[in-house]
Amino acid sequence: MNHLEITNTPVILGLNNYSLTGKPIINQQRTLKEVASIYQDQEVAKQFPDDTIAYTVQAWMPVAEGTSGGLFFGASTIMPGKVGTEYFMTKGHFHSLGDRAEFYWGIQGKGMLILMDRDRNTWAEEVYPGSLHYIGSEIAHRLANTGNENLIVGACWPSDAGHDYDEIARNGFSARLVEEDGNPTLV
């Protein structure tokens, strides 16, 4: 940046659909097949068409991953749907630097933020437009869409947080969010 220069930000957030445009933006897509192993009924998950998208993530990473002192900004979209009685959801993770916190906030649709501490206590917070969620140190987090439309959730996290997917891939969360009598229930 030059002294006295007035510039434009390189990234714009669409306030109607919350999509990010500009550079550099990262676009991730996860198919249901790719994440089938997170579901209780993996066989049912694998039977969905190859091109069924479970969720997408857009992110602006203004600094290199792993940089201390920076921030990343993202928006996740979880599609509506269920694998048996289990809602479409994200893989879920602890942060690699486990003490790094994160904010999530609901933008569109409805869902649950499933949280688990290192002692494997699991609980959930309802997500809806305007709900704001502080994900503290050493808390695994996963989003599930419990509605009939796309669930869109904003996120902001430290650039050195990283993602530890292994722990959840190995041992999962200690509870699953399923539909029981028409209601989302942790079991």
**DSSP state, 2?**
-
Structure tokens of 187? Answer: 């079991």
Residue whose CB is less far from ligand F6R, 137 or 180: 137
What is the nearest approach in angstroms of ligand F6R to the Cβ of residue 85? 21
Instruction: Report 73-102 residues binding Zn ion (CB under 5 A).
Output: 102
Backbone angles phi, psi at 62, to 5 degrees: -70, -15
Contact between 163 and ligand F6R per CB under 6 A: yes
Residue whose CB is less far from Zn ion, 86 or 102: 102
* Residue 107, CA atoms < 13 Å, CB-side half-sphere: 20
Instruction: Measure the CA–CA gap between 85 and 9, rounded to whole angstroms.
Output: 43
Contact of residue 158 among Zn ion, ligand F6R, none (CB under 5-8 Å per partner type): none
Choice from 39, 83, 92, 115 touching ligand F6R (CB under 6 A)? 92
Residue whose CB is less far from ligand F6R, 21 or 103: 103
- The stretch near ligand F6R (CB under 6 A) out of 16-24, 91-99, 123-131, 171-179 is 91-99
The site that binds Zn ion (CB under 5 A) totals a number of residues, namely 1
Q: Find the length of the chain.
A: 187
Relative to beta strand 102-108, strand 151-158 is antiparallel
End-to-end Cα spacing for the chain: 53
Instruction: Report 69-88 residues binding ligand F6R (CB under 6 A).
Output: 74, 76
Q: Is 102 helix (H, G, I), strand (E, B) or coil?
A: strand
Structure tokens of 98? Answer: 């486990």
Contact between 173 and ligand F6R per CB under 6 A: no
Helix (H) or strand (E) segment spanning residue 46: helix 42-46
The site that binds ligand F6R (CB under 6 A) totals a number of residues, namely 14
- Contact residues toward ligand F6R (CB under 6 A) are 57, 74, 76, 90-93, 102, 141, 143, 155, 157, 161, 163
